[in-house]
């Protein structure tokens, strides 16, 4: 008999495939197939929520509920805005991304997370070495997104898994240098997971608090400085000496690409100008529409025959949240990271949730730099990390109990011991 957890694992398999579908020479399925997968995934979450959700988490989940409520309103508004096939398609695709926060209500459960990660590392990870025959470097980090969690708890891994995780991390960093987003996320996760634990005596709660606030407030400060024309953090060539380049293969041809080139200022200018011109700063343009774009819009207007010079989505996550849901959406999105990182750092009994909370705060900062707004494994893992910060079960664990949970991902013996502690934490 198929169990609920097995159904979730099937979705994990499919989402892993979907994550690399844009960069593979062997595309699987079509738009409607993947829409069906995502619809069934959300239906499963809603129907089985009661099997995994701990009511004790309810009082802390208010930012999630408020954010999802606004996403729902924006999606409904989009139904009245969409005027052609491509806008309806964008509305449906984007809605799946904006509703990903629903997974918090099941991923707060340690037993389900442990089961999914166990199956993923046992059955899906080995297939990565086959997938690289048919994918480009950009796909590697998206496929291996669950490795980010292991990097954050690196000291708890066995020697065997430490070697595997380091090898895969170096593989992503070396083999996909121009996929800067993956390189940065994997590097930061490894840095945090190792440095903070091994030098934990220097990382008091005060230090965690300062770092958390830096990650949360830095993008807002830098954005303000950029708007005022005082300092543009994206113009790296102005304050980094040297011309750092990496070889990249495009359409079978090898070329060099600068790692310090400014690819973000133009996006910010287009998105902000479009919002001011079309008066959707506060409430957004809904998930059905994109921003006016001189760089890409004219081509899309002709190619898609929409007559509108719009780009439906950008590489920068926060720009998409702003375009689709306005300042209101950005503020609500911020409070998810704010609350999750606060609970992790100030209301947890183990250092590993504190490290995860700090990484979640970093991902808020990085949302202003990149982080594609896609329904993929990278964003699934981000929401899993956020869920762990909100979860009273994870936060009630001691360092030893959290070690049992991590070891239980790979060992049946530790899995059984971990379940005993988790049952106790659910009743606290």
Per-position DSSP letters for 225-267, written without gaps between them: HHHTTS--TT-GGGTS-S--EEEEEETTEEEEEESS---SHHH
Domain ranges for the chain, please list them.
4-202+375-426, 235-260
Per-residue tokens: 170: 């170096």
Average pLDDT value for the chain: 89
Among 209, 11, 8, 199, CA closest to 114 = 8
Which residues sit opposite 255 in a β-bridge?
Answer: 248
Task: Supply the pLDDT for residue 252.
Answer: 44
Q: What is the pLDDT of residues 339-358, one digit of tens each?
A: 999 999 999 999 999 999 99
Supply the DSSP string of 333-367, one letter for each residue. HHHHHHHHHHHHHHS-SSHHHHHHHHHHHHHHHHT
Percent of the chain with pLDDT over 70: 90
Task: Supply the pLDDT for residue 123.
Answer: 96
Among 150, 155, 32, 151, CA closest to 96 = 32
Q: Is the pLDDT of residue 238 over 60?
A: no
Q: What is the pLDDT of residues 34-45, one digit of tens each?
A: 999 999 999 999
Tokens 């595309």 sit on residue: 27
Q: Is the pLDDT of residue 359 over 70?
A: yes
Tokens 């398999």 sit on residue: 13
Per-residue tokens: 367: 């949302």
Under the banding of pLDDT at 50, 70 and 90, the label for residue 60 is: very high
Angle between helical axes of 110-119 and 412-426 (0-180°, round to 10)? 160
* Beta-sheet pairing, 253-258 with 291-292: unpaired
Q: Which of 18-27, 36-45, 317-326 has the lowest mean pLDDT?
A: 18-27
Sign of the torsion formed by the C-alpha atoms of 265, 267, 271 and 277: positive
Under the banding of pLDDT at 50, 70 and 90, the label for residue 390 is: very high
CB atoms within 10 A of CB 123: 12
Task: Supply the pLDDT for residue 68.
Answer: 98
Q: What angle do CA 387, 390, 396 make, to 5 degrees?
A: 115
CB atoms within 10 A of CB 247: 10
Among 312, 360, 291, 315, CA closest to 178 = 315
Q: What is the pLDDT of residues 88-113, one digit of tens each?
A: 999 999 999 999 999 999 999 999 99
Q: What are phi and psi of 145, to 5 degrees?
A: -55, -35
Q: Is the pLDDT of residue 244 over 80?
A: no
Top mean-pLDDT range of 97-101, 169-173, 262-266: 97-101
């Amino acid at each position: 008999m198929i169990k609920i957890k097995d159904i979730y694992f099937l979705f994990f398999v499919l989402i892993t495939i979907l994550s690399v579908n844009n960069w593979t020479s062997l595309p699987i399925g079509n738009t409607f197939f993947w829409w069906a997968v995502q619809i069934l995934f959300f239906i499963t979450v809603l129907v089985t929520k009661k099997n995994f959700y701990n009511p004790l988490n309810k009082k802390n989940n208010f930012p999630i509920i408020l954010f999802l409520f606004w996403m729902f309103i924006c999606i409904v508004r989009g139904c009245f805005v969409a005027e052609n096939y491509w806008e309806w398609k964008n509305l449906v695709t984007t809605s799946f991304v904006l509703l990903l926060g629903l997974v918090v209500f099941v991923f707060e459960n340690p037993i389900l997370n442990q089961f999914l990660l166990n199956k993923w590392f046992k059955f899906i990870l080995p297939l990565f070495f086959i997938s690289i025959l048919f994918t480009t470097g950009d796909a590697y980090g998206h496929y291996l997104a669950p490795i980010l969690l292991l990097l954050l708890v690196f000291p708890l891994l066995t020697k065997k898994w430490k070697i595997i995780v380091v090898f895969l991390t170096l593989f992503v960093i070396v083999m996909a240098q121009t996929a800067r987003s993956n390189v940065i996320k994997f590097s930061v996760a490894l840095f945090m997971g190792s440095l903070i634990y091994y030098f934990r005596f220097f990382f008091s709660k005060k230090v965690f608090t300062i770092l958390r606030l830096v990650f949360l407030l830095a993008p807002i400060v830098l954005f303000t400085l950029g708007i005022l024309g005082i300092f543009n953090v994206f113009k790296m060539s102005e304050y980094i000496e040297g011309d750092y380049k990496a070889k990249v293969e495009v359409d079978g041809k090898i070329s060099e690409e600068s790692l310090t080139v400014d690819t973000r200022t133009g996006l910010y200018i287009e998105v902000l100008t479009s919002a001011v011109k079309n008066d959707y700063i506060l409430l957004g343009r809904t998930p059905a529409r994109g921003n006016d774009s001189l760089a890409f819009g004219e081509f899309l207007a002709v190619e898609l025959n929409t007559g509108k010079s719009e780009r439906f989505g950008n590489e920068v996550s926060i720009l998409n949240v702003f375009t689709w849901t306005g300042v209101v959406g950005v503020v609500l999105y911020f409070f998810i990271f704010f609350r999750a990182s606060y609970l992790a750092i100030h209301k947890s009994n183990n250092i590993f949730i504190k490290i995860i909370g700090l990484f979640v705060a970093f991902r808020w900062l990085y949302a202003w730099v990149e982080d594609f707004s896609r329904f993929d494994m990278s964003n699934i893992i981000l929401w899993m990390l956020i869920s762990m910060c909100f979860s009273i079960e994870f936060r009630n664990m001691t360092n030893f109990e959290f070690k049992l949970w991590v070891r239980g991902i790979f060992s049946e013996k530790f899995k059984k011991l971990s379940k005993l502690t988790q049952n106790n934490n659910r009743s606290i």
